[in-house]
Structure 1
Amino acid sequence: MSTFRFRAIEKATSREVVKVEELGRKSLIFGDHVFNDKSMRQFLTPEAYQAVKNAQLGIKIDRKLAEYIALGMKEWALSKGVSHYTHWFQPLTGTTAEKHDAFFETQFDGDPVEKFNGSQLVQQEPDASSFPNGGIRNTFEARGYTAWDPTSPAFIFGTTLCIPTVFISYTGEALDNKTPLLKALNAIDAAATEVVKYFDKNVKKVTATLGWEQEYFLVDSALAASRPDILSTGRTLLGHTAAKGQQLDDHYFGSIPTRVLNYMRDLENHCILLGIPVKTRHNEVAPNQFELAPIFEETNLAVDHNSLLMDVMKKVAERHHFKVLFHEKPFKGVNGSGKHNNWSLATDTGVNLLSPSKTPKSNMQFLTFFINTIKAVHDNEELLRSSIASAGNEHRLGANEAPPAIISVFIGQQLTKVLEELKGVTDGKLSPEEKTDLKLNVVGKIPDVLLDNTDRNRTSPFAFTGNKWEFRAVGSTANCAGPMTVLNTIMAKQLRDFKNEVDELIEKKGMKKDEAIFNVLREYIKMTENILFEGDGYSKEWEMEAERRGLSNHKHTPDALKAKVSKKSMAIFEEMEVMNKIEMEARYEIELEEYVKRIQIEGRVLGDIAKNHVIPTAIRYQNLVIDNVKGLKEIFSDNEFEAVANEQLQIIKKISHHIANINMKVVEMTNERKAANLIEDVEMQAQAYCHKVKPYFDEIRYHSDKLEIIVDNELWTLTKYRELLFTN
């Protein structure tokens, strides 16, 4: 990077720091750009305010009151300098979508006015023709509806009022990620509330909470612009590993580079204004890899905040001359990026259901939800695996500290011993001695066990980490709504089944409530042993052991996605009223199509770079070596020439070898891609791209990376790993 350009960046980022510092304490500006409770009390009538609060509890808003809400929301937005509004939604593209409309209108007499009414707030009709729909509607049928989600507050982004909404088809099927999530959250609320009443009858609502951890890479924007693969695919398709990578472990939790810290501070400022409660920032393991994490929130709001954050990160990065890479595996040979989803359940009385306390009663409540979670994962491990399947995550799973494709549960040795002790208690009704022993020697000691249970397994995809479950296998580009919809749905189904089993023991066998609960939990412990694993998830031994246990190991996305449309999965989603068969089949088709398109794009980009960058550059350098050999031929005698020019001749041969292989493999890959494109069945097409097209990527890369270390550095047109990973 030139000295002039570096100083320009330094000055720009310094100005941003001043802006951040001028705003003072974060607590004073938190949510300033959000139509939150404070703003609603100021700009809404008492009746309109109460209508919004009631809507957050599921009570429909009267159309007349919607007019007053829209009026107050508009006045608040105008007071902040806003000129436009949009229904902000999350279609099945994996990103967010918005269509801006101005408040400005002209009346019948031509006079200008700012206008925004109840119908514009509650419902819009964006063109749905170009969004993924998986066959739910025909391409010529453009109608789709966005409807206001009052449980997630409106916010201001730039000069636009953004109103979080669901997105549905004309016939009512969900065309977005939010709608199924909201239904799953309703299901877990209903099921968990019924179960928790065994322990506390005052509980009226259970909320699923989420704390995501967003990992990402920062690359200098000028360097990123020099790489066609990064611009088109978000990752490097070629590139020899740098001599220094992450092997010294010196980047992890290290001092944050000044330029990166300036970016982080600017980003955090925007997050605070938008009500995103960011808490943690640090260097991750790989060079130029970082992490941001917030305080836990209600799951729907947390999902919205993560989707918004990814948009904000990109825009703020532009001002700091960075490009954010969210791809799960942007660089070969170093850590990929995940988005760990930390999940728990909380009651309206302020209790975390996955956090024990000092009383046996509370600890039985903890064990109930703890063991039921294990049972839900055990019974639906393939479905859970499908929820994090993607082309990007396919590269990440099982490599450099990412969990493997095998879904297992880690609870630590201490809690494993607790379950073993519970499993060994006598069947049927408990004697007074057994009850005392259970409460004092097993259940009563759980808080102390968790206090000392500091061991962690970074190779586990689903781990208990003290007072929450951490779904570590989620990819960094993922919308959290996908895995959270699945997790909350299977947990709701499991809790419903659990309550039915407990009630049956109470009613038909005359057991006391505590004994019935314990007997069911004990059976669950026996049934779920196969899903528990404490060892190295990367080992070949675990792969063989997992197969023996009957656990799936779907390394390829097309195989993993099949669980979405299994009879078992469909039955669960329909029973819990989260999605119907049409919606599930549509999502399956959409995700297969996305997989195909991403591999297709990568194949095209790889072929282009190989043909138009790598091979011409190699030939250019080879010609220089040939000229050198010709000169040596003129200077030295025939007897001397072979010894003097041997190395150059070997270089010429090696270059020819790698060029020939690249050219051959690109042609073969292109032919396979063309053949795959002719396949009409999307399942077969995805399999063809996975097993016939994608394998060429590594072969082409191998020969290209070999040329990178042979060819003169001054001639090589692609920015190398040492610059991409160590310039910040």
Structure 2
Amino acid sequence: MTRVKVSEIFGTNVFNDAVMRERLPRPIYKALKKTIDEGLALEREVAEVVAAAMKDWAIEKGATHFTHWFQPMNGITAEKHEAFISPTEDGRVITEFSGKELIKGESDASSFPSGGLRATFEARGYTVWDCTSPAFLKEDASGVTLCIPTAFCSYTGEALDKKTPLLRSMEALSNQAVRVLRLFGNSEVKRVIPTVGPEQEYFLIDRELFLKRKDLVYTGRTLFGAKPPKGQELEDHYFGSLKERVSAFMKELDIELWKLGVSAKTKHNEVAPAQHELAPIFTNVNIATDHNQLIMDTMKKVANRHGLACLLHEKPFAGVNGSGKHNNWSLSTDNGQNLLEPGKTPHENIQFLVFLCAVIKAIDIYSDLLRASAANPGNDHRLGGNEAPPSIISIFLGEHLTNILERIENGVTSERQRGEKLYSGVSTLPLLRKDDTDRNRTSPFAFTGNKFEFRMVPSSSSVSDANVVLNTIVADSLKEIADRLETVNDVHEEIKWILKDIISNHKRIIFNGDGYSKEWLSEAEKRGLRNIKSTVEAVEAYITKEAVELFSKHNVLSEQELRSRYEIALETYIKRTNIEALTMIEMSNKQIIPAVIKYMNEVATSLNQIKATNLNIQITEIEKLVIEISETLNTFKIKVLELESLTQSAQKLKENIKEQARYYRDVICKSMEELRLYGDKLENMVDSKIWPIPTYGELMFFI
């Protein structure tokens, strides 16, 4: 067994601070660090020297090409590879890489989703180096490529990607948080950085079985599939012993990620069969977003090497847990202080309470925007069951913090003793201090000690969308607090009133109970909290007057950029649902129906042979089975024809994207559910040797 020394391989494929310090002249290194740390404009002279050092480093490690690595609004990454070569007059080539090539690239902006920001004939788009996220090397069968993280914008300056609004939102949040800290007398902090540790859930299945399922290949989820005899009801998979094949995959995945500087720390089996999770260590939200994209990409590549397929869809299998990302979000100053750390006496930690209440206010006022940030077609199938959070936004604080806020609202200053001990009942085990909050798996937005865990983020999506919203809405809350405090003489006295006002006006968003209960549905409605179940409904939050004012005020997204994201979300919903419908039709006509007919013929032939023997054998029940299969198949075919007709009708609505999206949600999806019902019924009737696609049992347990 090959032993790996993590300290020797970690970050070896990253042009990180240590490499820059070693390879750059000291004045250039200091200038670049100042640009990164203080958010200043990059000087051209600095870029030229950095480009030369970056090229030499990459070539020494075997790189032959470079690419501007960016994240367009389709949610995945994009790259156009350029060789490090330039021809000479004598017919040879030299390796070159200029500061201009490092800073700016050009791509066809009309070929990526733009939501109307770019017409087909308006093709020019620019990629711009994001020096705050380190360049890295990707190694695969094609060789070694230098990847330069970049933002992507149109010829007229609109953001066409996930990174640009994220960087803007980070700046907006930092500006307002620093204002508040100044009012607390903190003159040292220059920046406040949102930090994130996005846990990634995923499924692993055998690749050969994957390739036999057109639904998994085309859509990422199973569109047919009868419930197997065993699912997750025995609760024997969560944190269970890793199968060797899975463990080997995870080992190589860790190594590949560590080389890329991704601090993959935790790995384990998740609740559903074949489901797993990877969690990295916290870092600033921009780098965390880049790393999460690398994690998803690397998972798929490494899985393929092990004869596996990695499924990142939110609900690849009905009836068991779906997959999400737990977006653990917090705030940290540039000198390392966590602003959401309560300390030993949170009721006396006024600064913590101000930032906590700013978050509470933000989530309550802009809950619809937060819900929209987690909306995608796959999440529509996941939210609300099997340990996924409900689609009602609420905040879990736990008994201790909730009690503190209630006392502040009521003007009570005393506080109960902290530090309760946890007794295990075993004398040889040490005493542990109980955490101040339990973990509420049904809460979409839970405080977990010194951070908030937003559990609603889809597993296949970029975490950028959720963090753009989080950063911006909290920035807005902090701005209102700073505006108010800057007009008074007694800051600490005014803070007391601000806290009381926020708690009184926004406590409706706090809920520490069971988010799955029917009682919560009615209670949430009484509180005025919306239950937004579909993507089509959720993304409307992006184009409200309040959203436009919010994002424009903080220079994060313009009205045009917001509308483009709304249009893209609806287009994506329509296209993905249409692909699913067409896949169901193809599987039905080309696989399921022929297989059922073949089975019926075999059973009918056997019946005739039995009857021909003239033996007095009771075959009534078998004849009933043939009739039942025939009737079910007939209904199944009718449902296929209905779905075909409905998908054709949907195309007539393409002039009105909102109406078309609603048609897919209300009509097409319902038809697909009905078709699946009869398809799954047929699966339970037909001989498994004849059934044309791998079953749930095979997919989830045969690894």
Q: 1:196 aligns with which of 181, 192, 201?
A: 181
Q: 1:404 aligns with which of 390, 399, 421?
A: 390
Partner of 2:657: 682
When residues 361 and 660 of structure 1 are mapped into structure 2, their CA distance, relative to the original with a 3 A threshold, is closer
Partner of 1:537: 515
Partner of 1:310: 296
When residues 111 and 633 of structure 1 are mapped into structure 2, their CA distance, relative to the original with a 3 A threshold, is closer
Q: Give 1:625 deviation, angstroms.
A: 1.4
Counterpart of 1:579 in structure 2: which amino acid? L
Partner of 2:629: 655
Q: Give 1:652 deviation, angstroms.
A: 1.1
CA distance in 2, matches of 1:351, 1:590: 38
Alignment of structure 1 residues 101-140 onto 2, 5 Å: 101-140=82-121
Q: 2:202 aligns with which of 203, 208, 216?
A: 216
2:456 aligned counterpart, secondary structure: coil
Q: Give 1:451 deviation, angstroms.
A: 4.9
1:491 aligned counterpart, secondary structure: helix
Partner of 1:551: 529
Whether the aligned pair in 2 keeps the contact of 1:388 and 1:475 (CA below 8 Å) is yes
Q: Which runs of 5+ in 2 are unaligned?
A: 423-432
Whether the aligned pair in 1 keeps the contact of 2:397 and 2:437 (CA below 8 Å) is no
Partner of 1:691: 666
Alignment of structure 1 residues 282-431 onto 2, 5 Å: 282-358=268-344, 363-425=349-411
More divergent stretch after superposition (452-461 vs 322-331) = 452-461
Whether the aligned pair in 1 keeps the contact of 2:340 and 2:352 (CA below 8 Å) is yes
Partner of 2:168: 183
Partner of 1:151: 132
Q: Give 1:645 deviation, angstroms.
A: 1.6
Counterpart of 1:27 in structure 2: which amino acid? S
Given the two structures, how large is their TM-score scaled by the length of structure 2?
Answer: 0.95
1:502 equivalenced with 2:485 (yes/no): yes
Whether the aligned pair in 1 keeps the contact of 2:339 and 2:352 (CA below 8 Å) is yes
Counterpart of 1:320 in structure 2: which amino acid? H
1:628 aligned counterpart, secondary structure: helix
Whether the aligned pair in 1 keeps the contact of 2:347 and 2:415 (CA below 8 Å) is no
More divergent stretch after superposition (267-276 vs 698-707) = 698-707
Q: Give % identity.
A: 47
1:418 aligned counterpart, secondary structure: helix
More divergent stretch after superposition (240-249 vs 354-363) = 354-363
1:91 aligned counterpart, secondary structure: coil
CA distance in 2, matches of 1:322, 1:146: 34
CA distance in 2, matches of 1:283, 1:360: 35
CA distance in 1, matches of 2:491, 2:640: 67
Q: 1:605 aligns with which of 583, 594, 601?
A: 583
The Cα offsets for residues 227-264 of structure 1, whole Å up to 9 and x where unpaired, read as: 11111111111011111110000000011111111110
2:461 aligned counterpart, secondary structure: coil
Q: 1:575 aligns with which of 550, 553, 557?
A: 553
Q: Give 1:47 deviation, angstroms.
A: 2.6
Given the two structures, how large is their TM-score scaled by the length of structure 1?
Answer: 0.92
1:623 equivalenced with 2:585 (yes/no): no
Partner of 1:44: 24
Q: Give 1:501 deviation, angstroms.
A: 2.3
When residues 367 and 575 of structure 1 are mapped into structure 2, their CA distance, relative to the original with a 3 A threshold, is same
1:472 aligned counterpart, secondary structure: strand
Partner of 1:10: none
Whether the aligned pair in 2 keeps the contact of 1:177 and 1:482 (CA below 8 Å) is yes
Q: Give 1:479 deviation, angstroms.
A: 0.2
When residues 361 and 661 of structure 1 are mapped into structure 2, their CA distance, relative to the original with a 3 A threshold, is closer
Q: Give 1:447 deviation, angstroms.
A: 11
CA distance in 2, matches of 1:422, 1:466: 20
Q: 1:60 aligns with which of 41, 60, 65?
A: 41
Alignment of structure 1 residues 445-460 onto 2, 5 Å: 451-460=434-443
CA distance in 2, matches of 1:587, 1:62: 32
1:586 equivalenced with 2:564 (yes/no): yes
User: Which of the pair is proportionally richer in helix?
Assistant: 1
Whether the aligned pair in 2 keeps the contact of 1:271 and 1:278 (CA below 8 Å) is yes
Q: Give 1:629 deviation, angstroms.
A: 2.1
Tell me the matched-pair count. 686
The Cα offsets for residues 345-392 of structure 1, whole Å up to 9 and x where unpaired, read as: 011222111112236797111111111111100000001000000000
2:108 aligned counterpart, secondary structure: coil
Q: Give 1:631 deviation, angstroms.
A: 2.3
Whether the aligned pair in 1 keeps the contact of 2:14 and 2:134 (CA below 8 Å) is yes
2:67 aligned counterpart, secondary structure: strand
Q: 1:100 aligns with which of 81, 85, 89?
A: 81
Partner of 1:633: 611
Whether the aligned pair in 2 keeps the contact of 1:356 and 1:446 (CA below 8 Å) is no
Partner of 1:89: 70
CA distance in 1, matches of 2:330, 2:274: 31
Partner of 2:426: none
Q: Which runs of 5+ in 1 are unaligned?
A: 1-16, 426-436
1:26 equivalenced with 2:12 (yes/no): no
More divergent stretch after superposition (202-211 vs 353-362) = 353-362
The Cα offsets for residues 178-202 of structure 1, whole Å up to 9 and x where unpaired, read as: 0000000000111111112233332
Alignment of structure 1 residues 434-513 onto 2, 5 Å: 438=413, 441=415, 451-504=434-487, 506-507=488-489, 512-513=490-491
Partner of 2:227: 241
Whether the aligned pair in 2 keeps the contact of 1:124 and 1:146 (CA below 8 Å) is yes
Counterpart of 1:714 in structure 2: which amino acid? K
Partner of 1:169: 154
Whether the aligned pair in 1 keeps the contact of 2:270 and 2:276 (CA below 8 Å) is yes
Q: Give 1:413 deviation, angstroms.
A: 1.7
Q: Give 1:108 deviation, angstroms.
A: 3.1
CA distance in 1, matches of 2:377, 2:464: 18
CA distance in 1, matches of 2:365, 2:346: 28
Partner of 1:701: 676
Alignment of structure 1 residues 61-80 onto 2, 5 Å: 61-80=42-61
Whether the aligned pair in 2 keeps the contact of 1:43 and 1:75 (CA below 8 Å) is no
2:126 aligned counterpart, secondary structure: strand
1:452 aligned counterpart, secondary structure: coil
CA distance in 2, matches of 1:34, 1:47: 21
Counterpart of 2:463 in structure 1: which amino acid? C
1:125 aligned counterpart, secondary structure: strand
Counterpart of 2:151 in structure 1: which amino acid? V
CA distance in 1, matches of 2:348, 2:24: 41
1:302 aligned counterpart, secondary structure: helix
Partner of 1:252: 238
Q: Give 1:659 deviation, angstroms.
A: 1.1
Q: Give 1:630 deviation, angstroms.
A: 1.7
Counterpart of 1:472 in structure 2: which amino acid? R
Partner of 1:595: 573
When residues 220 and 235 of structure 1 are mapped into structure 2, their CA distance, relative to the original with a 3 A threshold, is same
Partner of 1:429: none
CA distance in 2, matches of 1:202, 1:534: 37
Whether the aligned pair in 1 keeps the contact of 2:183 and 2:485 (CA below 8 Å) is no
When residues 103 and 538 of structure 1 are mapped into structure 2, their CA distance, relative to the original with a 3 A threshold, is same
More divergent stretch after superposition (91-100 vs 341-350) = 341-350
1:528 aligned counterpart, secondary structure: helix
CA distance in 2, matches of 1:328, 1:322: 18
